[in-house]
Every structure is written in structure tokens, then in C-alpha cells.
């Protein structure tokens, strides 16, 4: 899935009462069998799933100790108990006699001697009882069971405490992950959606194999009303069974009086009904307005990560792969799509038609199932015995040609590159009008947001780059993710890191004119910025709640995952070593589930050089711990010493780490610095190592072309030598190396290792810089500082920073044309320069943009603004009262999605307070502005001075509505939080943000993104305190 285009609309959030490391969310549903074993039926013997389960004391829910589970009365009781205990402790310690601990002291005058004795004895008794109870509860490895707490016994494990199902019976499972007693083999799904009532009915038939003896079957179901369930064991008759439901974990179960035996086959049939979702996951409704102004309704699916259970009962975990046969009914004027080609259409007595699709020819995880009911129009072509089609609403059919051509070329490339042909008969790419993510890799039926798939023939190469990039990512998933799937969400990077890496690798070969390398370099920089925070996480990390699953869809899983694969590929001997390893991995695990070690083992197995290190040994340090290293280099003659440490922006005694990485350090020097053959490699495995050069050098540049995921500090002398080299000849280093120097020195300034004076000294060479990557990186970093100063109302510094930026980049800005430009790289450079110039109110830029907009309006849209200039033109127009209204009218009526989105960003860039509040409210409401675009709107509003406080207030006031539309922890929520808080730099704002998130409790207080927000504010505050005086002196 590609979430990074995620500007979102209405989607149901996951259950938010899942508390980390808590076994049971709601106390009323928990029964303690130690206290009353007679009130409930006897449990079946534990099956192997529970034998493997090792209860932890931290999972026990103790009345009065879980802050999320107390009502007001309980809080009062707990407060009283604490006061009583404290009073006793204070009194006993203060008044105790040295000679005898039992000597009574004279009582207060108001109390008689007997009442004091009684009070002391009673309180002492209560304290002893309470202490013993707490010791028993928190004794390691102790769980309360029918027989109380006993010593651990590996052969007789403790029985866990079961929650209550909705009907009051005991639910026979107590964990988030499903038991592995049975395995689904195939699903037979019949769905009957009604787009008039926004409801659907369904029948799910699941064929299963019993893997070991068990008296229960547990699977997933969410918001489904199950009306009937039958069970058939082997050749026996089907019998009706009772289905138990435990809503907090979205699980249902069937219990049996006798064991199902290992090796038996069985069938569970479930009839149910449900509402179509009004959010962006599950089986949801969507709509659009056709060319005649009529509202057209459709239904589509989005199941990743945890929402297949909202459309049909299933074993909704990646490791439960099965085949699927799907039937969907529809009106005669609609059409349906699913993963496989349509096999038959049957007329139904009620006037509807039922489409039946071929049974899937591959086993696949539930999150990859997909179906659509709509009236889309396709264009198609055959590629390597696969029918490739692109679907859209009829009005946008002319915008599908580029996607079809690109997908066809990429399918050919991947078939050859992986030496495994795409396994299905057809591959559909479908543009959905209402879609939260950028795209979703459903096997054979890839769904996209319209802006990620549809592009006009006259569109700019930069707009085509966006579409090609998303298509390449989703097609790569047909191998990485679909054919070979991670076993659990902790290894999501195996799907997303690989698909991200392959999207850039494939486009560099298939469509080299798109200059995708600049984009890959930029996203690697941004991934490092996030991973430098203490709130980051390891690439492969523990995932225990639905919210944590959602939070795995971030830049660490995607871009860092891709970055370490790039680093590995660059470090292996021979160009084909890496490719051979991943082909081995795909062939060995085709149709199966894997973890990270399986990948490293496959790459190690094809190792051709006995001298080269074990891949698993090298790469485990990059996936098992968060963050990345800072490599410090010092040279003395021909001796080079490298030292590594954790690059951690928030570093104190509490967070100090002794992390070490196995780093393939690449380097070039002044004698040979830009050609690939200049590159040398040294593997740094320990804290510090020294190696010898053939001779003395003037300077070293480490991390050639920034293929490694680490930052380099050269020391004062090393930085001075590199500055001098760039001043003499800017091309002495590759443009990637120059960009990495700029990124690294800003990062080191943020860390506090170099002063901002050193940053400004390095930027002096920029007057000779003309390449895209170094310029765009420098502008991004300077704009970030400019906005921080602006939000702090440091008016004199803001004015000086503006003068500095225009002084260093003004000539380059003046050299930009406002005509069509074919080079993607030059378009990226031009849009970055002119957007900065106009945002700083540079007179020539603003005037030119106003003239271009005026001509565009007067031509009634027939005069085309170059695609890479549209954003800057719309931004300038939105600052005028009259032009803002004109732009809004154009936004409502324009059909081309890429242009429509740029208009929306322009509208959101207004500095008018009333309009800011209108656009935020409209984005939440979802009529004029789709709710899927709200994260984009908030991000744009927060960049302006007038809007960032409005946006923060808006988020606080509407938090509950936001998490109804976007799941807690989802990429949309991550984006909203980061946009709203990343430019705060004062203690007041830190206290506000901390207070807000701590008050959310199960509605988001445990999100990693909230910790990231607080950490970022503290870092901004620290940087400002340290550098304001330097800025005043040097600007």
C-alpha cells in the first residue's frame, strides 16, 4: 500500500479500547476464576495454542489500578485508600518509639485511647492484606486460575482468564492474535450490496483443516450481524451452531463439546448483514458527480491492514492464506470487479444480476481481497498473457492512457527482473473517486486515488512522475507482499520497503527521463530526519495492538526499508548479487509467509565471495534497532579513524544507547571523487576502527552518492577542506554528495555538534550551484527555519532570513523561465525556487504569477499554465480576495484531479482567518472538499503564519470526529499531528500539546506520533535557544 498520498475521507476507526500490554480492555467483561469457579462451566483442556501462551503479570487487570477502567466512584475510593495509607504511614513513622516499635504514643486529645488502638490495628491489618494481595498479583509468572497461584510448571500451564462474549457466555480466547488450531483452505463468498439503502447481506463458507485437537474455532468479524451459522465436520450433516462474539478484539468463536481432531476437514457457513461503511475501510460507499450533475454511488473495498473482517467473517491475519471464490449481485446498469476475471453472470428473480468470479489461482491473505460495484469504463491491452486494464469513471477515460502504457512496461520489466511471471490472468488498475491511501495492491485489482492514476496527455512530466511512481510501487507488491507475504505486521517493511525500493529501481530503467533518482534521494533524507528521533522504532518491531499495526505504515517501514536495501545492494560484490538473492527469496517462499531472517538467509545463500561478510550478520543491526549511526572521521596523514555512535537528537542519560551498526562505509578523496570507480569501501563493525590510505589526501567524502543510511561528521578541518574544494570546483563531487553534505550539516547543527555558523559557511558555495538536489535540500532546510522564526514572531530575524535566501538564490530564481519545460529535474528545481520566491513576496515572482493567473482566467481555462508552475500561480492568486473566490469557483468545476489538488492547496494557503476556518470546516464536512483531502488542507494551512494556531485549535475541538474518519495511528492521523505541531517551539505550546494528548487516553494518548510531536517541539525549543544569538550575528 502507498499511504503517502493520504489525504483522507470518512473511514471507520479501529477499536480504540485496546490498551498496550493489557489483556482485557473492559473490566466488566473479565471474570476471575480464582474468585468463583462454580459460577461458570468447566473449561476444555488447553490446546497447543494456549500451551505456548505464557501469561505475564503485567497483563492482569487489577481493580482500581487501571486508570482507564475507573469510574468516578472508583477514583474516589482509590483516593481515599491512598490518603488512609499515607496517613497511617506518616503517623507510624513519625511517632514510633526507638526503644520499641510497639509502644503506643499518647493519642490526640479528641480521641479516646481504645479508638486509637482500634484504628491502628484495623489499618495495619488492611495494609498487610493489601500488600499480600499486590505481591501475589505482581509475582512474576503468576496468574490467578481456578486453583490459585502456584509455582510455574512447564507441563501444566496456567489457564488464562477468559473475557465475556456479548451474550454473557465465556469467550474461549483471550489474545489479539488468533489460535492456529485450524487453518482456512478456501472461502466461498456471496455478497449482495444495496446502494440505495447502503447495506449489504452476505454468506461466507469457509473450508478448514484442523491442525491439532481443539474444541473451538476463533476468527474475526467486525460490525457484522450474523443471523445464522452452520458447521459441518467431514461427511457428517451440517448442524446449526451458536456464534460467540467478543467485540473489543473483533473476534467471533464457535465452541464444541468434543475435540475436533487433527487432520479433519470442516466447513463453517455464516449468514450475515451489515451497513456499508461510511469511512474509508472495509466495504464502503463512495460517490461522485457525473458530467450532467447527477450523483453516482458506488461501493469499493479497502482491507489492509485489519478490515476484511468488516466485509466478511474471516481469519484476518496475513499468515492465514487461502483461495477465494466470490459472487456479487448488482443492478443491470452497474458492473462489478474482483481479484479474478468474471466467470459467469446469472439473472436473479429479484431483477438483479449476480456475477461470479473465477476461484483465485493463488493462495492469498485476506487483506488482498477486493471487490467493486460501480459504473466504471476500462481501456485494456494484453501484456505477456495478462490482460492489463485501467478503469475510471466515464468522464475521465481520456486520462487513463498514460497509466495503461506505464503499467504495461513495468509488468514486462518485473516479469523479467524477478524471473517469475505475474501469476494471474488479468491486472486491473482502478481509480476510485473516494480513496484514503495513495493506492492499494489488491492482487489483480489494484485500487488508486484518482490523483495517483489519472493524468492527461498534456500533463507535465512531473505530474506523470507521480503516477508512474505509484504504479511501479503497487506492481512491485504483486511479488513482494502478494506472492511472498510477511507473517505478521511487525515485518511490514518486507512488503513496503521492498516495493518502495523497486519503484525507484524499476523507473530508473524503464522510464529514465523521469529523473526518479532525485526523489529517491530526498525521501531518504526525510526518513533519516524521522529516524533520528527517540520516538522512532526499529524497522522490524513488536506489534501488539490495532493502533500499533496502523502506525507501522510510516517512513521507517517504507523509505528506511528501501534505503537499507539500497545500501545492501551497493555493498555487495558484483552487480547481480542482490538480484540473485531476491529471486532466490521469491522462489523459495512463493505462496508462503516470511520474516526478516528469511530474506537475509536467502541473500546469504547466493553469496559468491567467501571473503565477503554474512548478509544476515550485517543487516540485522539495521532492522533490529531503531535509528542510524553518526560516523565521525578524522585523518592524520594516511591514517583514517572512523568512530560510530547513535545519531539521536534527543540524547540524555535516560536515552543513551550503546548501539552499534555493521556499516559499509564508502568514501572518495580529492584524487578521484566523482566517478563510480573512485569509490572505496571499509566495513566499520566496532565503536572505532582505523585504516590506512595509499597516501595522504587533502580531504575525504564519506557515503558516496548517499547510498548509506548514516550521517557523517568531518570535524572542523574536514568540513573546511570540503568547503574549499566546492568553492574551487562545484563539480568535484556528485550532486548527490553535495546534497548529502547540506543535509548532514543541518542535521549536525540540530544535534548540536556544529554551530549554525558552520552551516552558513558551507552554504556560501551555493552561488555556483545549479543542480536540483543540492538546491532543493538547502531551500527546504532554510524554509523550515524561516517558518520557525516566523511562528516565534522574531520579526527582525525573519526579515534578515528572507534577505539571506533571496541573496543566495536570487540569481538562480531570476534565471527561471515561465514557459513549458520538458526536463523533470529542471521542473523540480524551478517549482522549488519560484514557490520560495513568491512565498517571500519577491516582487518579480508575484507579478509574473498574477499575470499568468489573469490570462488563465480570461481564457476560460484554455490557456494552460505549465504543470510545475500551477502551484505557485494558485498560491499567489489565493492571497487576493477576488482571485480566491475565482479560484474556489474553478476548484468546484475542474475535473482534472492533479490540477484540482493544486487549486485546493492554493485555497488553503490564504492568510485570511475566516477563509482558513471555512476551508478546515469544509474539509471535515466533506461536501465541497472531499474529507480525504483534509490532511493536505491542514498541512498547507499550518505552513502559513495566520493558520497554524487555527489548525491546532481545530484539531483539538474536532478530535473525536477526526478519529471517526481516520483510524487512530493511521498515516492520515500521523500527518495531521505532524503538520499541526512540528513548528511549535515554545514551552507554552509544549505544555498545551502534552496536556491534550495525555487527556486522550484510549483515543490516542499512546500513539507514537504524539510522542514524536512532543519530542520535535522540545528539539525546536532547544535549537532556538541555542541559535537565536548566532542568527542575529551572522544573518
CA distances from 871 to 311, 853, 866, 980 (A): 39, 11, 10, 21
452 prior amide bond cis, ω within 30: no
Rounded to 5 degrees, what angle do the CA atoms 752, 758, 759 make?
85
Name, in order, each residue with C-beta under 8 angstroms of 51's C-beta and a sequence gap of 6 or more.
157
Provide the 10 A C-beta neighbour count for residue 933: 24
Q: Is the peptide bond before 305 cis (omega within 30 degrees of 0)?
A: yes
Distances (CA, A) of 185 to 210, 320, 323: 10, 9, 7
DSSP for 186-226, please give it. Answer: EEEEEEEEETTTTEEEEEEEEEEEE-S-EEEEEEE-SS-EE
C-alpha distance across the termini of the chain, in Å: 44
Q: Say whether 474 is catalytic.
A: yes
Three-state secondary structure along 88-133?
HHHHHHHHCCCCCCCCCCCCCCCCCHHHHHHHHHHHHHHHHHHHHH
3-state secondary structure of 57: helix
- Specify the 3-state DSSP secondary structure of 53: coil
Query: What percentage of the chain's residues is helix, strand, coil (to nearest 5)?
Result: 45, 20, 35
Helical axes 735-751 vs 756-763, angle rounded to 10°: 160
C-alpha distances in angstroms, 508 versus 141, 413, 501, 518? 54, 11, 11, 11
Task: Report whether 830 contacts 821 (CB < 8 A).
Answer: yes
Contact (CB, 8 A) for 545 and 20: yes
Q: Which residues of 755-793 are buried (b: 16+ CB within 10 A; e: fewer)?
A: ebebbbbbbebbeebebbbbbbbbbbbbbbbbbbbbbbe
Beta carbons within 10 angstroms of residue 1029's beta carbon: 10
The phi-psi region of residue 137 (left if phi > 0; otherwise alpha if psi is between -120 and 50; otherwise beta) is: alpha
Cα 506 off chain centre by: 23
Q: What's the DSSP call for residue 989?
A: H
CA distance 90 to 95: 8
Task: Please tell me whether residue 454 adopts helix, strand or coil conformation.
Answer: coil
Under a CB-based contact definition with an 8 Å cutoff, are residues 952 and 982 in contact? no
Of the candidates 10, 159, 474, 835, the residue annotated as catalytic is: 474
Task: Round to whole Å and give the CA distance between 329 and 354.
Answer: 4
Helices in 270-346 by DSSP H: which ranges? none
Place of cell 493502533: 547
Q: How far apart are CA 232 and CA 254, in angstroms?
A: 12
Which three-class secondary structure state does DSSP give residue 284? strand
Question: Which residues fall within 8 angstroms of residue 817, CB to CB, at 6 or more apart?
Answer: 830
Q: Across-strand partners of 428?
A: 389, 445
Dihedral Cα 683, 687, 691, 697, nearest 10 deg: 100
- Gyration radius from the chain CA atoms: 31
Cell of 951: 489548525
3-state secondary structure of 455: coil
Distance of CA 955 to the CA centre of its chain: 20
Round to whole Å and give the CA distance between 360 and 375: 24
Q: At what angle do helices 516-531 and 772-791 cross, to 10 degrees?
A: 40
List, by residue number, the catalytic residues: 474
Amino acid at each position: 500500500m502507498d499511504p503517502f498520498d493520504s489525504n483522507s475521507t470518512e473511514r471507520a476507526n479501529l477499536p480504540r479500547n485496546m490498551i498496550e500490554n493489557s489483556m482485557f480492555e473492559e473490566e466488566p467483561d473479565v471474570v476471575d476464576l480464582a474468585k468463583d469457579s462454580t459460577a461458570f462451566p468447566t473449561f476444555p483442556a488447553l490446546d497447543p495454542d494456549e500451551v505456548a501462551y505464557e501469561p505475564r503479570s503485567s497483563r492482569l487487570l487489577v481493580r482500581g489500578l487501571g486508570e482507564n477502567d475507573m469510574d468516578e466512584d472508583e477514583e474516589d475510593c482509590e483516593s481515599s485508600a491512598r490518603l488512609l495509607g499515607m496517613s497511617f504511614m506518616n503517623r507510624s513513622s513519625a511517632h514510633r518509639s526507638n526503644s520499641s516499635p510497639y509502644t503506643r504514643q499518647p493519642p490526640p486529645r479528641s480521641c479516646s485511647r481504645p479508638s486509637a488502638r482500634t484504628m491502628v490495628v484495623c489499618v495495619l491489618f488492611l495494609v498487610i492484606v493489601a500488600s499480600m494481595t499486590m505481591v501475589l498479583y505482581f509475582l512474576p509468572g503468576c496468574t490467578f486460575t481456578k486453583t490459585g497461584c502456584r509455582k510455574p510448571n512447564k507441563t501444566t500451564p496456567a489457564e488464562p482468564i477468559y473475557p465475556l462474549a456479548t451474550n454473557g457466555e465465556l469467550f474461549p480466547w483471550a489474545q489479539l492474535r488468533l489460535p492456529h488450531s485450524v487453518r482456512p483452505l478456501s472461502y466461498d463468498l456471496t455478497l449482495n450490496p444495496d446502494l440505495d439503502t447502503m447495506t449489504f447481506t452476505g454468506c461466507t463458507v469457509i473450508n478448514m483443516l484442523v491442525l491439532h485437537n481443539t474444541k473451538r474455532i476463533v476468527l474475526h468479524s467486525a460490525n457484522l450481524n450474523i443471523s445464522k451459522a452452520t458447521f459441518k465436520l467431514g461427511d457428517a450433516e451440517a448442524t446449526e451452531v451458536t456464534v460467540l462474539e467478543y467485540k473489543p478484539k473483533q473476534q467471533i468463536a464457535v465452541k464444541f463439546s468434543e475435540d475436533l481432531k487433527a487432520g479433519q476437514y470442516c466447513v463453517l457457513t455464516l449468514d450475515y448483514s451489515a451497513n456499508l461503511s461510511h469511512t474509508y475501510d472495509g466495504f464502503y460507499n463512495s460517490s461522485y458527480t457525473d458530467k450532467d450533475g447527477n450523483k453516482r454511488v458506488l461501493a469499493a473495498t479497502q482491507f489492509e491492514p485489519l478490515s476484511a473482517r468488516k466485509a466478511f467473517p474471516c481469519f484476518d491475519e496475513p499468515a492465514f492464506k487461502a483461495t477465494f471464490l466470490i459472487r456479487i449481485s448488482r443492478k443491470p446498469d452497474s458492473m462489478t470487479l474482483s481479484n479474478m476475471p468474471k466467470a459467469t453472470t446469472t439473472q436473479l428473480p429479484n431483477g438483479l444480476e449476480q456475477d461470479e468470479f473465477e476461484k483465485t489461482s493463488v493462495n492469498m491473505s485476506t487483506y488482498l481481497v477486493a471487490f467493486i460495484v460501480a459504473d466504471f469504463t476500462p481501456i485494456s491491452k494484453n501484456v505477456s498473457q495478462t490482460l492489463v486494464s485501467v478503469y475510471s469513471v466515464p468522464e475521465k477515460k481520456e486520462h487513463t492512457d498514460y497509466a495503461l502504457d506505464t503499467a504495461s512496461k513495468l509488468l514486462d520489466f518485473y516479469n523479467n527482473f524477478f524471473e517469475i511471471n505475474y501469476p494471474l490472468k488479468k491486472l486491473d488498475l482502478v481509480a476510485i473517486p473516494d480513496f484514503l491511501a495513495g493506492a492499494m495492491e489488491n492482487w489483480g485489482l489494484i485500487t488508486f486515488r484518482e490523483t495517483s492514476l489519472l493524468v492527461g496527455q498534456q500533463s507535465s512530466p512531473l505530474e506523470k512522475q507521480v503516477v508512474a511512481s505509484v504504479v511501479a510501487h503497487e506492481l512491485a507488491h504483486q511479488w513482494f507482499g502478494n506472492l511472498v507475504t510477511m507473517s505478521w505486521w511487525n515485518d511490514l517493511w518486507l512488503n513496503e520497503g521492498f516495493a518502495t525500493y523497486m519503484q525507484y529501481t524499476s523507473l530508473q530503467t524503464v522510464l529514465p527521463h523521469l529523473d526518479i533518482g532525485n526523489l529517491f534521494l530526498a525521501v531518504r533524507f526525510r526518513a533519516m530526519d524521522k529516524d533520528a528521533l527517540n520516538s522512532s522504532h526499529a524497522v522490524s518491531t513488536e506489534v501488539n495492538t490495532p493502533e500499533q499495526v496502523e502506525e507501522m505504515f510510516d517512513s521507517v517501514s517504507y523509505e528506511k526499508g528501501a534505503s537499507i536495501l539500497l545500501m545492501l545492494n551497493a555493498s555487495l560484490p558484483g552487480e547481480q548479487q542482490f538480484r540473485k538473492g531476491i529471486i532466490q527469496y521469491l522462489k523459495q517462499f512463493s505462496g508462503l509467509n516470511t520474516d526478516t531472517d528469511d530474506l537475509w538467509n536467502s541473500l546469504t545463500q547466493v553469496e559468491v565471495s567467501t571473503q565477503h561478510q554474512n548478509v544476515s550478520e550485517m543487516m540485522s543491526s539495521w532492522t533490529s534497532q531503531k535509528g542510524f549511526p553518526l560516523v565521525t572521521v578524522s585523518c592524520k596523514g594516511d591514517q583514517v579513524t572512523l568512530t560510530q555512535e547513535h545519531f539521536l537528537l534527543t540524547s540524555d542519560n535516560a536515552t543513551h544507547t550503546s548501539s552499534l551498526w555493521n556499516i559499509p562505509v564508502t568514501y572518495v578523496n580529492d584524487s578521484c571523487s566523482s566517478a563510480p570507480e573512485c569509490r572505496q569501501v571499509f566495513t566499520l563493525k566496532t565503536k572505532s576502527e582505523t585504516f590506512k590510505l595509499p597516501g595522504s589526501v587533502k580531504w575525504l567524502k564519506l557515503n558516496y552518492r548517499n547510498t548509506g543510511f548514516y550521517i557523517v561528521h568531518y570535524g572542523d578541518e574536514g568540513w573546511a577542506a570540503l568547503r574549499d574544494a566546492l568553492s574551487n570546483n562545484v563539480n568535484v563531487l556528485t550532486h548527490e554528495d553535495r546534497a548529502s553534505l547540506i543535509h548532514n550539516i543541518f542535521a549536525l547543527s540540530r544535534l548540536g555538534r556544529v554551530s549554525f555558523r558552520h552551516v552558513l559557511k558551507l552554504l556560501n558555495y551555493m552561488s555556483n550551484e545549479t543542480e536540483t538536489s543540492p538546491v532543493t535540500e538547502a531551500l527546504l532546510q532554510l524554509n523550515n527555519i524561516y517558518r520557525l522564526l516566523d511562528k516565534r514572531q522574531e520579526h527582525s530575524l525573519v526579515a534578515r532570513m528572507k534577505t539571506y535566501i533571496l541573496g543566495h538564490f536570487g540569481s538562480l530564481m531570476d534565471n527561471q523561465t515561465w514557459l513549458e519545460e520538458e526536463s523533470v529535474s529542471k521542473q523540480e528545481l524551478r517549482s522549488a525556487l519560484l514557490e520560495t520566491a513568491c512565498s517571500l513576496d519577491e516582487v518579480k515572482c508575484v507579478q509574473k504569477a498574477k499575470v499568468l493567473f489573469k490570462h488563465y482566467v480570461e481564457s476560460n481555462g484554455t490557456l494552460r499554465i505549465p504543470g510545475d508552475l500551477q502551484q505557485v500561480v494558485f498560491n499567489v492568486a489565493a492571497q487576493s480576495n477576488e482571485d480566491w473566490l475565482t479560484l474556489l469557483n474553478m476548484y468546484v468545476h475542474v475535473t482534472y484531479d492533479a490540477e484540482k489538488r493544486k487549486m485546493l492547496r492554493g485555497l488553503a494557503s490564504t492568510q485570511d482567518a475566516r477563509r482558513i476556518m471555512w476551508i478546515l470546516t469544509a474539509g471535515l464536512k466533506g461536501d465541497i472538499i472531499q474529507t480525504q483531502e483534509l490532511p493536505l488542507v491542514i498541512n498547507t494551512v499550518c505552513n502559513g503564519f495566520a493558520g497554524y494556531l487555527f489548525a491546532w485549535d481545530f484539531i483539538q475541538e474536532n478530535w473525536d470526529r477526526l478519529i471517526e474518519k481516520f483510524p487512530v495511528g493511521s498515516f492520515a492521523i500521523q500527518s495531521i499531528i505532524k503538520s499541526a505541531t512540528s513548528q511549535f517551539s515554545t514551552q507554552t505550546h509544549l505544555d498545551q500539546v502534552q496536556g491534550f494528548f495525555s487527556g486522550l487516553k484510549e483515543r490516542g494518548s499512546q500513539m507514537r506520533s504524539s510522542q514524536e510531536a512532543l519530542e520535535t517541539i522540545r528539539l525546536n525549543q532547544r535549537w532556538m535557544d541555542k541559535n537565536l544569538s548566532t542568527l542575529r550575528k551572522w544573518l
